[in-house]
A and B are shown apart, each in its own frame.
Chain A
Amino acid sequence: MAITAPINQQAVDEDAFVYSKNTVWRRFRKHKLAMAGAIVLLCMIVIAVFAWKFAPFDPNAIDNVHWQGNPLPPCFQDAGQCGGHLLGSDENGRDLLSRLMYGAQISLTVGVAAVVMELIIGTLLGAVAGYYGGWVDYVMMRITDVFLSIPLLPLLLTLTAIVAASSSKASLGFGVIVVIIGALSWPGVARLVRASYLSLREREYTEAAKALGNGDTRIMLRHLLPNAIAPIIVQATLDVANVIVLESTLSFLGFGIQPPTASWGNMLANAESNLEVAWWAAVFPGLCILITVLAINYIGDGLRDALDPNMR
């Protein structure tokens, strides 16, 4: 007894090393850049949620008092001309800072919502393909191949252009963008889930669960999913960053969120033509995208190290 006890203890510890939330958090905390990313992202979320309270102006209101056709400069550049707009105004005399705050709502919610949709589709298809194998797997992976072989940005643009043509550009609302991005970006997740399920279904605990008379659905969701979750979480985090860039690209090109609703992408669409007179309208929205995406990417990096050091 005296000899076996420490060995058992060690085995328990090793399991705990992988699964305990505390260990994951401890390892994540060591990744300084990931922690910095988490703090930055938290600030962004707070700003987005409380935009109605923080924003100094109505994001869509035109400042008729100060604005006379030219974008108002930021206060730190020209305190006399700025009219109280800390980061200046856009070419329509709307407060840039307030629009940035409301734009954060769009970017973050599109990112999270599209990834949730991608996760549901991708996990479902990948789990079924990996668990059943055989012809089910073959058919599903060929479908995945099809979606992976069509470059994402041109396909997204095509679909949004079709939606815009079928009713009007104004119909390209938040929901449409989320559905289109989510419906097209699942193949990566599906492949990941399939790969883990292919190996997990051969494990003894799966056999044990089967022998106990559990149904396939229950095994897939209750027994296999928790063991396959680590790479999915990492992929989902990185995908939130990707979706934010995709949404802003679509909006910049005029096939995403439509004005007057502020999104970081469509704020830059008009900034391009005013590059010579209003550098601030081009710099700040992009800086917001870069900082947010960078923060999320570092969080993803930290999660990868924390959840499974062997995953790289």
Chain B
Amino acid sequence: MKQLWRRPKGGPRPLFTYVVRRTLQAIPLLILISLILFVILHNAPGGGLGPYLQNPHITAADIARLKHNLGYDKPIVVQYFLWLGHVITGDFGYSTSNSEPVFNAIVERLPATLELMISSFVLAFIIGVSAGLFAAVRPYSIWDYFITTFAFFGQSMPVFWFALMMQLAFAVHGIPLPGGYMIQLPSAGISSSDTFAFGDRATHLILPAIVLALLQVALYSRFMRSSMLEVIKTDYMRTAWAKGLNFRTVLFKHGLKNALIPLVTVTALTLPGLFGGAIVTETIFAWPGEGRLFFNALGQQDIALMMGYLVFNAFLVVFFNLFADVAYAWLDPRVKYD
């Protein structure tokens, strides 16, 4: 039998060309983003020389020499292309607030940020998906109302205040348990000592991970609920029920698998945002990650580091956008490439 839906022999594979085209579109976007950021940051008073201008031991002649050596006397567009040329070789400039290359500063903080982000994501995904699934299976029940209300609270909660309240409850006062036990968690830092101890690291992780997870739990449970409600209405679910398959098979194999597809997009679009959101969490919990690195650079006019962080952040957004679209197209064969 002739299969009409097969692509013609020798023609390009649509998904592959789609990926290539989207990647090529992403490059000018990233260049435009970095150009705009560059112009904004380098028009700041003092530009990249801000920290030197505040130093009383540096004379006007020194400033002039620095300005020439660092290329700050050239037109801004020329400076940008010089910067771009360096970036391609992995050189993001020198961070004045950390006294090391920006690239090294960012790479050094990456493990701490990833530790926090991944643990909060796993926590949020498990809780969010199960809560959304639960709410969708029993819509308009008391549990559904409880979960949707909680999601609404989670979305409205100012993250920094939630962090303060968690510190107040679990770190300052501690929660007393029956039998004279006490839940008391450390309020700041990634560990108590330099030597690695799993228990110590884990207790330091709990509060910041919960704080960072709250918004995600709210998002994932809401999307999971509506996505699952959509799926439950479909014909193939009814067929699965009618075939007499048991509850678990229908729900997880036919339902969950399909309901998770839209969630891939939501997740991919949320993850890079977490990076920016981590500024607040990391600052409050004194977590030695990217967010705190950026926040310290802000106060010290460390232009090179701010630039590196913002470009890195924008790159993540563009990359995850691309990833979301490609993953969606790959998972759902009904999607057209355009």
Q: Which residues of A contact B (CB under 8 A)?
A: 142, 145-146, 148-155, 157-159, 161-162, 165-166, 241, 245, 248-249, 252-253, 255, 268, 271-272, 275-276, 279, 282-283, 285-286, 289-290, 293-294, 297-298, 301, 312
Q: A159 touches which one: B40, B45, B159 (CB < 8 A)?
A: B40
Q: How far is the CB of A233 from chain B (nearest CB, A)?
A: 19
Q: Are A146 and B156 interface neighbours, CB within 8 A?
A: no
Give the distance in Å from the alpha carbon of A285 to the alpha carbon of B153 in the complex: 16
Q: How far is the CA of A187 from the CA of B309 in the complex (A)?
A: 22
Assuming A149-B317, A162-B45, what are 13 further A-B pairs, CB within 8 angstroms? A150-B37, A151-B314, A151-B317, A158-B40, A161-B299, A252-B160, A253-B279, A272-B284, A282-B164, A283-B165, A289-B161, A290-B157, A301-B152
**A271: which B residues are within 8 A, CB to CB?**
164
B298: chain A residues at CB < 8 Å are: 157-158, 161, 255
The interface residues of chain A lying within 8 Å CB-to-CB of B160 are 248-249, 252-253, 268
Residues of B288-338 at the interface with A, using a CB-CB cut-off of 8 Å, are 294-295, 298-299, 301, 306, 309-310, 313-314, 317-318, 321
Question: Contact: A146 with B32, CB < 8 Å?
Answer: yes
Q: Is the CB of B172 within 8 A of A166?
A: no
- The 8 Å CB contact of B44, one of A145, A165, A275, is A165
Interface, chain B (partner A; CB < 8 A): 29, 32-33, 36-37, 40-41, 44-46, 50, 152-153, 155-161, 164-165, 167-168, 172, 226, 272-273, 275-277, 279-280, 283-284, 294-295, 298-299, 301, 306, 309-310, 313-314, 317-318, 321
A151 with B158: in contact, given A146-B33, A162-B44, A272-B164 (CB under 8 Å)?
no
Q: List 25 A-B contacts (CB under 8 A).
A: A146-B32, A149-B317, A151-B313, A151-B317, A154-B310, A157-B279, A157-B295, A158-B310, A162-B41, A249-B158, A249-B159, A249-B160, A252-B160, A252-B280, A253-B295, A272-B284, A282-B164, A286-B158, A286-B165, A289-B158, A289-B161, A290-B153, A290-B157, A290-B161, A297-B152
Residue of B nearest to A286 (CB): B161
Question: Shortest CB–CB separation between residue B322 and chain A, in angstroms?
Answer: 11
Least CB distance, A130 to chain B, in whole angstroms: 18
**In the complex, A78 Cα to B274 Cα: how many Å?**
41
In the bound complex, do residue A276 and residue B172 qualify as a contact, i.e. CB atoms below 8 Å apart? yes
B311 CB → nearest A CB, Å: 9
Closest to A143 in B: B32
* Residue pair B46, A165 in contact (C-beta under 8 Å): yes
Contact of A275 among B164, B277, B313 (CB under 8 A): B164
Q: Closest A-chain residue to B301, C-beta based?
A: A165
A15 to chain B, nearest CB (A): 29
- CB pair A279–B280 under 8 Å, yes or no, is no
Collect the chain B residues with CB atoms within 8 Å of residue A157's CB.
279, 294-295, 298
Task: Give the CA-CA distance A176 to B301 in the complex, in Å.
Answer: 19
Whether the pair B158, A253 counts as a contact (CB closer than 8 A) is: no
Closest Cβ–Cβ distance, residue B298 to chain A (whole Å) = 4
Contact residues in B for A255 (Cβ distance below 8 Å): 298
Expressed in whole angstroms, the Cα–Cα distance for A297 and B149 within the complex equals 12
Residues of A close to B321: CB separation below 8 A: 149
Q: How far is the CB of B309 from chain A (nearest CB, A)?
A: 7
Q: Which of B32, B37, B45, B280 contacts A253 (CB 8 A)?
A: B280
